[in-house]
Amino acid sequence: MILGGAPQPMLGGEQPDEPRAVQITEHIGGMSEVAIDRGLVGEEREPPPAEEPRPAMDERLETSLRARHADDTSPSATMPRVMRRTRYARLSTERPNPASLDLDRLGPRQIARLMNREDARAVRAVGRVGARIAAAVELIVAALGRGGRLFFVGAGTSGRLGVLEAAECPPTFGTPPRLVQAIMAGGPGAVFRSREGVEDDKRAAAREIRRRVRRGDVVVGVSASGVTPFVRAALRTARLRGATTALVACNATRVQQASARVVIDPRPGPEVLTGSTRLKAGTATKLVLNTLTTASMARLGRIHGNRMVDLQPRSWKLRERALRLVEELGGVRRSRAVRVLAESRGQVRLAIVMAWTGGSVQDAARALRTAGGSLRRVLETSRPTPGPARGRRR
């Protein structure tokens, strides 16, 4: 029986109608060095969305804000100059959404319809940056193929999404926990309890990057605003250490300003609840991170077709899924699938090769090594052992 505890995540993840985002220029150590087309990862090529009208501000609120800015003892007056220069009100993720000005007056069904319409904007926004996502995937694949690691760095909701992506890679793709890691502003405790002030701690970000990141790694900053000090400091420090950098943001962001080689900046627009970036910005960010890890692992051979052949059967559901994979891809009956999965100690890819070829664990491991880990290559180049269930492999 293949059951056990799941590994703990490590804290601190080409569309044919699109232009080519990546050009392979030279081979280094058996892997291809990636050159990014600056025309695609620099300024946004598609026309920027039209500015949405800003609602008139309540007179009392406006008076209050003016008085606060005039008060030398206000928090903004005591902030460092570099932080005061960031004009947060100009960020689309901070502006009021004209479509939801009467949110507190709507019924549940009206709110559900409104949020569904706005969520669709997030999906379309991600679709517009497909070339940039592809460019980042090529960087990740090249780095991991040379022995590097992938780090997601963020604060608040953005940081938690990075933690989730890193945590899901071992059970989904069979990766060791150290391969995809997350660095969360405020540490592991901030995953479960909000600590908003830690997003401004640039020293902590630099310290964590220096402690964990090395040359050849990839650091992906995740920041809805695109200007989070923790994330920006992490990316700057990572570049100085020789790591490749990318940024996922939901506002227009320049590559140079972000200290990132690739900027993926879907622009879903203002939130239904003003400034609550766990909503559309969170949705857009999750879609991007999903694509980065899934596409990268597909390119690295950690899936077969659309099957998770490196899943870890540590629950009854996953064990049943693993057995189905061995049955269908290995072309054997259930009883044989149970035996080879047990003999391979739950290593699904090995079990599939054993079922297909009739060989031992050692034979299957040798065949996979010869094929560079590609299950497809093994299945296509080796002859299956005769059996009544043959012909079912996909």
Active site residues: 168, 199
Q: How many Cα atoms are found within 13 Å in the side-chain-facing hemisphere of 63? A: 3
17: its two tokens: 């109608």
For helices 130-145 and 108-127, what crossing angle results, to 10°? Answer: 60
DSSP type of residue 48:
P
For tokens 């569309």, name the residue. Answer: 15
Q: How many Cα atoms are found within 13 Å in the side-chain-facing hemisphere of 57? A: 10
Beta bridge partners of 244: 218
Pairwise CA distance, residues 95 & 251, whole Å: 12
Pairwise CA distance, residues 364 & 301, whole Å: 16
Q: Is the dihedral of CA 219, 225, 226, 227 positive or negative?
A: negative
Q: Is the dihedral of CA 95, 97, 100, 102 positive or negative?
A: positive
Pairwise CA distance, residues 247 & 262, whole Å: 6
Burial of residue 103, with CB atoms counted within 10 A of its CB: 0-12 exposed, 13-18 middle, 19 or more buried: middle
380 membership: H or E segment, kind and range: helix 375-381
Pairwise CA distance, residues 62 & 70, whole Å: 12
Pairwise CA distance, residues 138 & 142, whole Å: 6
Pairwise CA distance, residues 128 & 134, whole Å: 12
123: its two tokens: 């999906």
CB atoms within 10 A of CB 80: 10
What single-letter amino acid sits at 145?
G
